[in-house]
Amino acid sequence: MIDEAEPGYRWEAEYEKTWELLQEDEAGSLQASVDEIVQKAKRKRLLDRPINVKLGIMRHLCVVIDMSDAMNDKDLRPNRQLATLKLLEKFVEEFFDQNPISQLGLYIMKNKRCEMITELGGNIKRHTTSLASLRTMQCQGEASLQNAMEMASQNLRHVPGHASREILIIFGSLSTCDPGNIMETAKAIKSQNVRCSIIGLAAGVYVCQKICQETQGKYNVILDESHFKDLLTEQTSPPPAVGVTESSLIRMGFPQHETTAGIGKSSMCMCHIDSKDSSQGFGKNGYFCPQCWSKYCELPVECVVCGLTLVSAPHLARSYHHLFPLQPFAEIPTADIYRPNRLCYSCQKHLSEVHAYKCGQCSHVFCIDCDVFIHEIHHCCPGCASKRTPQL
């Protein structure tokens, strides 16, 4: 974990006894301490999330994967490259699940150059098949952060002003081989309102920290594979908007899902029109674009005929929990609760732990499992949902 940049020199700062944070348990393992540190960081993240800050909901994210020699290292099982690709496949799914109207692009850093694997787009299958094809690619050469940042920012230049522009770099090596001054590139992308975050796999590198600081991104170095997963999951939530992003009204279509009871005529859908298998996509079911009536199998999609973005109402609803986040529950000791009421409100489990969690709005008490479930997956307090709010 990298310390915050301080104005003075490190030897002028206070004497830090960082070894006291880690404590061995009876078996001599440090795992419990490490877990506790990761848990505390998670809870701090939940509490620290700024409310009433404009978020970039429509995101355009370029993921840059390091494919240099350092990724052949076996400190992650089976080696860094394969472990990263496996986690990224889950990340892509989770990203489109949390941000259905966003777009993702994949790039790699290899042989001091940056190559584009997939263009910025919203089709999950395309990204996952490309990630699968990267498993067989050989990692060689050195990584070049500047080339990666320049290529990604060039592709992000054409993105409309209301969308957020982000770069996420998975950086496994300890050095970067650049043609020019990387800090100028960092300033250039900052002026384009691009936010660059880096996840380091090896150790903390000063230049990465500087870039992230400049562009208001996040720099983290992983401790182990589960921490890596946590950091990637953190990236799926929309970050606060950088700079002055324009707000605009985007014209979107909400197509109806027609089944066999509808129009009654079979037609070819536009998403499979180029596929070699002619049986795919031909039928009566599908979503019809309200502007030009072309058929699509799945949403969300951008209509290739008339350019209208097609979404369904649940897709937009998926992002609402980012905009109206659930407040964290207060931790109270179980002994304070009156004995007959020592039950978790939502699962009726007897509260045997030392701590219980109380919602500030409805004052119902929950067990620790329900607290984690409600905040990480459900985003809705059952107590508040059961309470009738007075009509305004």
Binding residues for another protein (CB under 8 A): 54-55, 57-58, 162-163, 245-259, 261-262, 290-291, 308, 312-314, 316-321, 323-324, 339-340, 342-350, 352, 369-370, 373-374, 377-389, 391
Q: How far is the CB of 386 from another protein (least distance, A)?
A: 3
Radius of gyration from C-alpha coordinates of the chain: 24
Q: Which is nearer to another protein, 112 or 373 (CB)?
A: 373
Q: Which is nearer to another protein, 160 or 180 (CB)?
A: 160
Q: Which is nearer to another protein, 71 or 311 (CB)?
A: 311
Q: How far is the CB of 236 from another protein (least distance, A)?
A: 13
Q: How far is the CB of 93 from another protein (least distance, A)?
A: 11
Q: Which residues contact 4 (CB under 8 A, 6 or more apart)?
A: none
List the alpha helices (DSSP H) in 283-359.
313-318, 320-323
Q: How far is the CB of 154 from another protein (least distance, A)?
A: 23
Q: How far is the CB of 252 from another protein (least distance, A)?
A: 5
Q: Which is nearer to another protein, 206 or 324 (CB)?
A: 324
Between CA 68 and CA 171 the distance in angstroms is 9
Q: Which is nearer to another protein, 203 or 244 (CB)?
A: 244
Contacts 24+ apart (CB under 8 A), 82-89: 82/135, 83/225, 83/228, 84/170, 84/172, 84/201, 84/228, 85/131, 85/132, 85/134, 85/135, 87/225, 87/228, 87/229, 87/232, 88/63, 88/131, 88/170, 88/232, 89/128, 89/131, 89/132
Q: Which is nearer to another protein, 21 or 385 (CB)?
A: 385
Between the CA of residue 272 and those of 11, 58, 285, 286, what are the distances in Å?
63, 26, 14, 12
Asked if 355 and 370 touch (Cβ cutoff 8 Å), the reply is no
Q: How far is the CB of 183 from another protein (least distance, A)?
A: 31
Between CA 100 and CA 117 the distance in angstroms is 21
